[in-house]
Amino acid sequence: MRKWVLLSAAITIEVAATLSLRASRDHWAWLVVVVAGYVGAFVLLTLVLRAGVPIGVTYGIWGALGTAGTAVLAAVIFGDPFTWAIVMGIGLIIAGVLLIEIGSQRATAAKTTP
Reported confidence tier of residue 12, pLDDT bands at 50, 70, 90: very high
| pLDDT greater than 90 at residue 56 | no
Domain segments of the chain: what residues?
A: 2-112
For residue 4, which of 66, 42, 61 has the smallest C-alpha distance?
61
Q: What's the Cα-to-Cα distance from 37 to each of 7, 28, 75, 85, rounded to whole Å?
A: 14, 15, 20, 29
Q: pTM for this structure?
A: 0.84
Residue 114's pLDDT is what?
64
Instruction: Give pLDDT tens digits for 67-106.
Output: 999 999 999 999 999 999 999 999 998 888 888 878 877 7
